[in-house]
Chains A and B, each alone.
Chain A
Amino acid sequence: MSLLQLIARRLLQLIGVLAGISLVTFLLVHMAPGDPARLMAGERASPETIAAIRSQYGLDLPLWRQFLTYLTNLVSGDIGLSLRFQRPVSQLIEQFMWPTLFLTGYVLCLAIPPTVALAILGARRPGGIADQIIRLVGIAGLTIPVFWLGIMMSRFFGVSLGWFPVSGYGTGFAGHLHHLFLPALSTAIWLVPVLTQSLRAALIEKTTADFVTAARAQGATERQIFWQTMLPNAVLPTLNLLGVMVAFMIGGAIIVETVYAVPGLGTLMVNALLGRDYYVVQGLTLIFAVSTVLITLMVDLLTAFIDPRVRL
């Protein structure tokens, strides 16, 4: 099967997945305790006002009619109105999305080069001194809680040394880079060990692979063997892991964004939850689910691009 066919098939599957996601997010809000109409009207509203709000928002219609309305709105890009900000949720999400995406990209740039370097260093002599040190430091990086590391780093680099701002997003590309450095670094510190262990294990496994012996017998130098044969064959499990991590970061940058007061999706999520801003929560859930699906799709396509056997 060619790559194009694979993409077409995966996109078809995507339709079903999206329908499922929309149903789940819709039910999520309706299952949640509390009456949104009462919430909007305030504590001392009369039953008439509440009924009026109900019919205005269509909350008095049967569930399936509400879902249909929700679906048609979704298709036209309308995912509701924030009860708190009185602004369309899509606008809110768009506004808060860019810092999160920027942060995610930043983390990847900070994490991938050291991952590759450390994995190679460790896999070159498994159990050697370099490998042991990398593993120990990696475990330390994994075990330090992100919020504690975040607070410590912002105190030290931000307050004491004054090198980096401790909150906000900054203006302009350079400003973003400057402001988001500490949050990106604190995330990368736990991401690098996870990826390194995965890549290291795969590399070690491939050093004894038969096709590596065959390449050696054909006169390839160790450098050629590593870059042309071992690395491409070893990278796939790590790539899949990275996909999961990126999806997790887009949806789960809550701690880092809160600690460094980055105006991203994580911050928006926390505020919406605390303020019972149901439609924002619903919209965010939808966005997180869709982004996870899209990232998985991208990883799958990349995998298929690298490994022809996956295209079957």
Chain B
Amino acid sequence: MSGLETSKPPLLEVKDLSVSFGGFAAVKNVSFTLQPGEILGIVGESGSGKSVTCRAVMRLLAATARAEGTVALDGRDLLTLSEDELCAVRGRDIGMIFQNPASHLDPLRRIGQQVAAPMIRHLGIGKREGLQRAVKLLEDVGIYEPEKRARSYPHEFSGGMKQRAMIAAAIGCQPKLLIADEPTTALDVTVQARILELLKELNRKTGLAMILISHDLGVVADICSRVVVMRNGEVVEQGPIDDVINRPRHPYTRLLIESQPGRKSYGTAGGPDRGTPLLSVENLSVTFPAGQGLLGGFGSSNSFRALDGVDLEINTGETVGIVGESGSGKSTLARSIIRLNTPSGGAIRLDGQDVGALGGEALTAFRRRVQMVFQNPYDSLNPRMTIAEAVAEPIWRHGIADRKAARKEADALLEMVELPSSLRDRKPQQLSGGQCQRVGLARALALKPQLLIADEITSALDVTTQAQILELLVRLQRERSLTLLYISHDLAVVSSLCQRVYVFKAGRVVEQGVARQVLSAPRDPYTQALVGALARLPSAGTIPLHNRS
């Protein structure tokens, strides 16, 4: 191991760490070391035990968890410390930041107080001194008007600012080690890039050692010098980042690298049919009233404009991507197309027919032609139905076949999305996220739609699962000559899948064009920022792309 090569004693040495909950072993014999000033990445999918490992280091696991092995910080075993000794280490020697900054800040206390609390606790300074240092820290982590912001509450902060505040609270006591558990997963890509930049800078300036946990190999490659790859609670591979990425030894690491969005181009189905567009959106606007409640009249009663004059065209057989950060209006567009939102202006036409004017039979026919798959695979399936029933439901509801025939048809559809027949009588909660999303696809395809809208269908999934779903989508599109509208916050996924792309920002289209061009030579400053923010693996010339083992 690389720890033996250096003469310095390691800052953190984890040896044969095993964690079990009841009879379930979540982490098995994990060993790694961390040198002072080093950034170590831990990569793996959800359930691989990477978070549990780090929580075991901090002893933050539930009382039912049993941890064995040694976790030595500067030679001191953390697993044997008493509760009091532990409190003196947490926040003082080891700082930690979490995946969802919104839920990890106390909603009732001001940001300044929360940043100051660990310093007041560990450094024995007064409240005033603590607050002054908190303001300084907020400034250091890049928050404007830190004095004013220190008096704000968490709900007045954006996601990126909350994560900055969490970082400020974690580094206040100048710890030796910062553990970052998926610190950017809940954030938009441009915000993610800035937070990663901040972490890098902290490491450079203060020599703060870090453990960065992520499911995203791109993020880890961007910032870490060494990486540990975990799967099913075990370390499958570890080493310097360049070695692991350019010469992966374990087949799982290869699969992870291969699954990175943008790594691989999904051969898009035949060129678009030039001619009349299948779907055209003209000058579409959607506004939501900003509710003020009773007697809210004397507050500003401005309404919120989710979409503002959007023009868009999709030709038959084409795959069109829509990219934007959260709040950019991309989901509102999808919901407007299938008439879940009422536009306040403009028109949506399918084959030249105004969708908003449809009613009765024509509307039912429209619903058959346009189907949507949703972001959350669990929430969009009825938990009380088996998956075969869920897929069969639209068929008999639309009167295409009776219930028995519909069940047969559903079986065929489930086979088409590569779900084993043994799963047919399961309920959604007994399936994995990827399997559920396949069910969602099968259900959407049950009515043989012309246009399929996929709204962030892979963003709740692991990267390897995402790659499989995308492959499936491309295959289905080819086989059934589907027109596809693919919505995502991930520019890399969109560019590898779509022929044309529209970039959304604050309810407007800021850039559109051929996907490859937009990605390689973005014209709009916002698109440039998006492209620049992509945490991508270094494009190594030749990676043996072995088939999945």
Contacts and interface: CB of A to CB of B under 8 A. Distances in A.
Nearest to B298: A9
A271 interface: no
B395 to A, nearest CB: 42
B545 interface: no
Nearest to B86: A219
A213 B106 CA distance: 10
Choose among A222, A229, A306 the residue with the greatest number of B CB atoms under 10 Å from its CB.
A229
Contacts of A220: 87, 91, 117, 121
A211 B104 contact: yes
Contacts of B58: 217
A174 interface: no
A229 B154 CA distance: 14
Nearest to A236: B108
Contacts of A214: 96, 98, 104-106, 166
A307 interface: yes
Interface string A291-310: 00000000000000011110
A219 B106 contact: no
B118 interface: yes
Contacts of B267: none
B384 interface: no
A12 interface: yes
B252 interface: no
B108 A217 contact: no
A96 to B, nearest CB: 34
B92 A219 contact: yes
Contacts of A218: 90-91, 95-96, 117-118, 121, 169-170
B100 interface: yes
A233 B295 contact: no
Given A219-B121, A219-B122, A210 B104 contact: yes
Contacts of B249: none
A306 B294 CA distance: 22
Interface SS of chain A: helix
Contacts of B294: 13
Nearest to A208: B62
A12 to B, nearest CB: 6
A210 B108 contact: no
B107 A309 contact: yes
Interface string A219-240: 1111010000100110000000
Contacts of A12: 295
Contacts of A224: 121
Interface in A190-214: 209-211, 213-214
A270 B465 CA distance: 71
Contacts of B153: 308-309
Interface in B150-195: 153, 155, 166, 169-170
Contacts of B118: 218-219
A217 B166 contact: no
Nearest to A214: B104
Choose among A13, A211, A224 the residue with the greatest number of B CB atoms under 10 Å from its CB.
A211
A213 B99 CA distance: 12
B365 interface: no
A9 B88 CA distance: 47
B106 A211 contact: yes
A211 B87 contact: no
Interface string B47-66: 00000000000101000000
Contacts of B476: none
A216 interface: yes
A73 B207 CA distance: 77
B79 interface: no
Contacts of B166: 214
A222 B84 CA distance: 10
A208 to B, nearest CB: 8
A219 B106 CA distance: 15
A215 interface: yes
A217 B90 contact: yes
Interface string B90-134: 111001101010011111100000000110011000000000000
A211 B169 contact: no
A218 B58 CA distance: 10
Contact of A306 (B96, B108, B155): B108
B355 to A, nearest CB: 36
A211 B92 CA distance: 18
A211 B88 contact: no
A212 B118 CA distance: 14
Nearest to B100: A210
Contacts of B100: 210
B506 interface: no
A220 B113 CA distance: 14
A309 B121 CA distance: 27
A308 B169 contact: no
B534 interface: no
Contact of A217 (B60, B88, B107): B60
A60 B107 CA distance: 60
A308 B110 CA distance: 9
Contacts of B122: 219
B262 to A, nearest CB: 32
A308 B109 CA distance: 8
A211 B108 CA distance: 11
A216 B103 contact: no
A210 B51 CA distance: 14
Given A209-B103, A210-B103, A308-B155, A219 B90 contact: yes
Nearest to B58: A217
B107 A233 contact: yes
Contacts of B155: 308-309
B106 A215 contact: yes
A233 B106 contact: yes
A45 B95 CA distance: 89
A220 to B, nearest CB: 7
Choose among A214, A216, A308 the residue with the greatest number of B CB atoms under 10 Å from its CB.
A214
Nearest to A219: B91
A309 B110 CA distance: 12
Nearest to A233: B108
A308 B170 CA distance: 24
Interface string A62-101: 0000000000000000000000000000000000000000
B92 to A, nearest CB: 6
B89 interface: yes
Nearest to A215: B106
Choose among B90, B108, B153, B294 the residue with the greatest number of A CB atoms under 10 Å from its CB.
B108
Contacts of A221: 83-84, 87
A218 B108 CA distance: 17
A243 B166 CA distance: 36
A209 B106 CA distance: 9
Choose among A12, A209, A210 the residue with the greatest number of B CB atoms under 10 Å from its CB.
A210
A181 to B, nearest CB: 36
A5 B63 CA distance: 45
Contacts of A211: 103-107
Contacts of B108: 232-233, 306-308
A309 B295 CA distance: 19
Closest 8 CB pairs of A and B: A219-B91, A218-B91, A210-B103, A219-B90, A214-B104, A217-B96, A308-B153, A218-B118
17 contacts: A9-B295, A13-B294, A210-B98, A210-B103, A211-B103, A214-B166, A216-B90, A217-B98, A218-B118, A218-B170, A219-B87, A219-B88, A219-B92, A220-B87, A221-B87, A308-B108, A309-B153
Interface of A: 9, 12-13, 209-211, 213-222, 224, 229, 232-233, 306-309
Given A9-B295, A217-B90, A309-B153, 9 more contacts: A211-B103, A211-B104, A211-B106, A217-B58, A217-B60, A218-B117, A219-B118, A220-B87, A307-B107
